[in-house]
Amino acid sequence: MGKVLVFGHKNPDTDSITSAISYAYLKKQIGMDAEAVRLGSISGETAFALGQFGFEAPRLIEKAADEAQQVILVDHNEKQQSVDDLDDVQVIEVVDHHRIANFQTADPLYYRAEPVGCTATILKKLYKEHDVEIPKEIAGLMLSAIISDSLLFKSPTFTEEDRKAAEELAVIAEVDAESYGLDMLKAGADLSGKSLEELVTLDAKEFTIGDAKIEIAQVNAIEVNDVLERQVELEVLLNSIIEEKDLQLFLFVVTDILNNDSTVIALGQAADRACAAFNVGLTDNRGVFKGVVSRKKQIVPILTEALK
């Protein structure tokens, strides 16, 4: 068996990057020639976590098949979120916490998905099942992933299993989860150096609901007004994307990581109907979703119902 590449999804978040590193480490301990790689740029938040625990960013790849026959997917399974030449390699394992869709194999594989808030929470179990000790630095990365996916333990995706894992990992990593976590989120929420294009694409996902195509981009911020000040230019950019992709809705979500509200800019013909589903009226294309932080759990299901 040759080298096995381990990677998370495109537009990688902290869970995708750190889970690739954490799982590749575990697989190496149990005898596999595994290497963590990544499919996209590192965010400021992820860079902060890597730096804090002494890791370099994994190597960037665009294709897998020219250097490996087998791969392991972490934090995703849908083909369109994975490496472009996924069909040319064998997926031998998946460790994930998302729904399963657009995923198919020719052979049996190891597939481990659990409905928890973060891939790292599942990886922590796998270390235990294989009786491999989690090094302090890896524990720090895994904790960072849970903090990131749960917005410091506040997202409704955050489960009791995530909480237990985070507590144990904080002890191993010897950090105070709350203060370290806030510093890490702040590093990701520093949007000052970001271009408008970066803001709009950093964490954007397209969804199809019935016949409607919509896109939802989300950024975390400490100073929401830093983003909203640029609303006029932002709208020009969002409208051009709407036209180009023929979207019914572009929802640009700025989440305040301190008070856990989200300010949205909603454009497209379904904008008013979409926001009405949250009992929010738009003023100047803008509204506030109180207590909403999770695209997956608090936004997509309501839009799916409202627009179908």
- Interface residues toward a copy of itself, by CB under 8 A: 97-115, 129, 296-297, 300-301, 304-305
Minimum Å gap between C-beta 305 and a copy of itself is: 7
Q: What is the dihedral of CA 65, 71, 73, 77, to 10 degrees?
A: 60
Helix axis angle for 119-129 and 136-150, nearest 10°, is 150
Q: Are 112 and 36 in contact (CB under 8 A)?
A: no
Nearest residue (CB) to a copy of itself, 199 versus 303: 303
DSSP state, residue 95: E
Minimum Å gap between C-beta 11 and a copy of itself is: 19
Minimum Å gap between C-beta 29 and a copy of itself is: 19
Nearest residue (CB) to a copy of itself, 111 versus 153: 111
Single-letter code of the amino acid located at 39: L
Q: Which amino acids are annotated as binding site, given as ranges?
A: 9, 13, 15, 75, 97, 149
Nearest residue (CB) to a copy of itself, 102 versus 269: 102
Q: How far, CA to CA in Å, does 137 sit from each of 18, 67, 166, 169, 263?
A: 11, 28, 14, 10, 35
Q: Are 228 and 253 in contact (CB under 8 A)?
A: no
Nearest residue (CB) to a copy of itself, 137 versus 162: 162
Picking from 75, 159, 155, 89, the residue whose alpha carbon sits closest to that of residue 120 is: 75
DSSP state, residue 283: B
Nearest residue (CB) to a copy of itself, 49 versus 122: 122
Q: Report the C-alpha gap between 287 and 202 in whole angstroms.
A: 21
Q: Are 263 and 230 in contact (CB under 8 A)?
A: no
Q: Which amino acids are annotated as binding site for Mn(2+), given as ranges?
A: 9, 13, 15, 75, 97, 149
Nearest residue (CB) to a copy of itself, 51 versus 301: 301
Q: Are 206 and 213 in contact (CB under 8 A)?
A: yes
Q: Report the C-alpha gap between 68 and 7 in whole angstroms.
A: 13
Q: Report the C-alpha gap between 3 and 25 in whole angstroms.
A: 13
